[in-house]
Amino acid sequence: MKKISALILALCLLISFTACGKPDAPAANTETPAALTQEHHESGSKDIVILFTSDVHGSADSGWTYSGVDVIRRQLIAKGNNVILADNGDAIQGEPLASMTGGGAVIELMNTLGYDVATIGNHEFDYGMERFMELVEMAEFPYVSCNFNKLGELVFDPYIIKEIDGTRIAFVGITTPWTLRSSTPAYFMDKDGNYIYGFMQSEDGKALYAAVQKAVDEARAEGADYVIAMAHLGNVAEHKPYTYADVLANTTGIDVLIDGHSHDLDQVTMKNKAGEEVLRSACGTKLEAIGCVRITSQGEISTGLYKWDNEDNAVEVLGLESIMNDACEKAKEKLGAALAEVVASSKVDLLIKDPNTGARIVRNQETAIGNLCADAYRYISRADIAFVNGGGVRDDLRKGDITREDILRVHPFGNMLSVCEATGQEILDALEFSVHAWPEEFGGWLCPSGIRYEVHTYMDSSVETDEAGMFVGVNGEYRVKNVYVGDEPLVLGKTYTVASHNYMLQNRGDGYTMFADNVFTQDSVMLDVQVLITYITEGLDEVIGQEYAEPQGRVIFVEEKAE
């Protein structure tokens, strides 16, 4: 086994650390972390260190990895500290290890590592409420949330209290009400479409603030010496009134708020409702940093980060030895088994190329596989219309058994389902941009669902783009005509809901500029691969049938102008 001193030397060279005790300092120095230096304590006067992770998103191979968390925790204990390990949500969704095992492999890793407590992120619900509750049962640690409720009754305890050497620390869970928009709405509804789950949401945020204050007050009344808010709130301005700053500015009694959701690394000091200073700490995503809250035996509190500024993971660079190394390898073995698992079957071949010519057609024609993928987005989102870009449909689904790996090959990019409101004019512009390069291929060719239209190919395109190829406008007659949404003609002044992924709708992927500033009713809800798996397994009862044997007349080419 490698000697501790060698590890410390490597850490001195390779870690960037914001020392606990300097919450406002940038994570820029490379001195030996204060939390790893030798400390001497009298019996019963050990410091308490809370290590926390957030937004891991199923990653086993990036940043510190779970092995790094284990090594740092053991070093802290060896130096005379008591250590508590917490997670702030969005652990079980993201990388294939998570999505291909329905989050189960991540829960097993967290159990092995020995987490003490976790709260809920918006993506904990990506596999549906039933699956999330199964994962809760699997977890050997408690989930806490003071605002996640079913018909007004809290689903989990609002807090837990950990007592260490006579010091009582309360951990209060807070889950963003934004979850109803950034997860799948149907998962929070009954069969009639009525919301039965909620997060104490209200337009002014006061319901959330009251829930947090109630939990903090009850924890204090139960004898908590310190209150740590475990939040999945973040700092995104458009998420007001549910940001961490909103909550802290409207509550009292919280000593430290450890946070997630926005993937930032900020260490902040701000004042609460009573004008008292409160620390807020976040640790980024995918284990690029591990958060640290230190409570000294004299009652001083500080926050900091163990950062890992390296593209290679810490296990590989530092040669970390940990029980988590074997656990991660076993998880990857399970991933291999999960990828090979047959989850559905197809009665037809769904192809991205013409079987006769070998030419790729998913980027300039309607295809059955494009229709399938777009239908999946509309099924999950319940939007009026759904689009998937042809460049995002990367492989065939062949007749016969379909494995999880087959589906992952169709959607390998990890894009997230989103839904925005769009006018008929914006939708028409998107369709026109989709066909502007025809007959040439275009990665942004739209595979449609819930909408059909004609493309008059005898006309030249009037689409204007900027120097980067981004859509600017249409300066002339539209090639796209006779557009129908369902059975009704598209109305240019009407507002529709449009489902696609964040790449196209929010990030202007493939040049689609017309949606980015719109109102989003669902925001980065579910991974594209999970969207397709859920549609095939649930919406199609695990069988892709003859309805997808051929294109369905959603895109009709008109080659000659009518006399």
Domain CATH number, residue 38:
3.60.21.10
Those residues with Cβ within 8 angstroms of residue 417's Cβ, 6 or more apart along the chain or in another chain: 377, 380, 381, 499, 500, 501, 502, 522, 524, 525, 526, 527, 528, 531
- If asked whether residues 133 and 258 sit together in one domain, one would say yes
pLDDT value at position 37? 36
Residue ranges of the chain whose pLDDT lies below 70: 1-45
| Domain coverage including residue 101 | 18-337
Does any domain span residue 2?
Answer: no
Q: Are residues 333 and 398 in the same domain?
A: no
Task: Quote the pLDDT of residue 45.
Answer: 65
In a domain? residue 64: yes
Residue at which a domain ends, from 315, 337, 359: 337
Q: Looking at the structure, do residues 319 and 403 belong to the same domain, yes or no?
A: no
Q: Is residue 5 part of a domain?
A: no
CB 49 within 8 A of CB 293: yes
Determine the 3-state secondary structure of 32 from DSSP.
Answer: coil
- CATH code: domain of residue 500: 3.90.780.10
Last residue of a domain, one of 291, 308, 337: 337
Q: How many residues does the chain have?
A: 563
DSSP 396-455: -B-SEEEEHHHHHHHS-S--BEEEEEEEHHHHHHHHHHHTTTTTS--TTPEEEESEEEEE
Cβ–Cβ under 8 Å, residues 505 and 513: no
Beta bridge partners of 280: 257, 268
Spatial separation of the C-alpha atoms in residues 458 and 154, rounded to whole Å? 61
Please tell me the distance from the alpha carbon of residue 550 to that of residue 523, in angstroms, as a whole number. 32
Alpha-carbon gap, residue 37 to 21, rounded angstroms: 14
Report d(CA 288, CA 278) in Å as an integer: 24
3 domain-assigned: no
395, 352 in Cβ contact below 8 A? yes
Q: Are residues 310 and 346 in the same domain?
A: no
User: Of the candidates 224, 230, 229, 226, which has an alpha carbon nearest to the alpha carbon of residue 299?
Assistant: 226
Please check whether residues 406 and 531 belong to one and the same domain.
yes
Which residue reads 């159990």 in tokens? 111
Residue 351 is assigned to a structural domain of this protein: yes
Domain count, the chain: 2
Per-residue exposure over 331-346, b if at least 16 CB sit within 10 Å of its own CB, e if not: beebbeebbeeebbeb
On the CB side of 174, CA atoms within 13 Å amount to: 37
Final residue before a domain boundary, out of 337, 367, 399: 337
**pLDDT for 30:** 28
Cβ neighbours of 108 (radius 10 Å) = 18
Adjacent-strand bridge partners of 401: 345
285 and 383 share one domain: no
In a domain, 173, yes or no: yes
Same domain, 331 and 350: no
Residues 110 and 208 in one domain: yes
Query: What pLDDT does residue 3 have?
Result: 39
Count CB-CB contacts under 10 A for residue 133.
Answer: 11
Could you tell me if 258 and 378 lie in one domain?
A: no
291 and 403 share a domain? no
Instruction: Tell me the two tokens of residue 162.
Output: 């950990």
Task: List 520's β-bridge partners, or say none.
Answer: 420
* HSE value, Cβ hemisphere, 13 Å, CA-based, for 109: 34
> What span, in angstroms and rounded, lies between the C-alpha atoms of 101 and 111?
15
Tokens of residue 92, six digits: 């079980």
Nearest to 542, CA basis, from 450, 407, 408, 389: 407
Question: What are phi and psi for residue 435, nearest 5 degrees?
Answer: -105, 10
> Do 188 and 50 have their domain in common?
yes
Q: Is 495 among the domain residues?
A: yes
Closest CA to 410 of 543, 539, 536: 536
**Residue 399 is encoded by which pair of tokens?**
């007749």
When computed from its CA atoms, the radius of gyration of the chain, rounded to whole angstroms, is 26
**Do 328 and 404 sit in the same domain of this protein?**
no
Neighbour count for residue 7 (Cβ, 10 Å): 18
Residue 517 forms part of a structural domain: yes
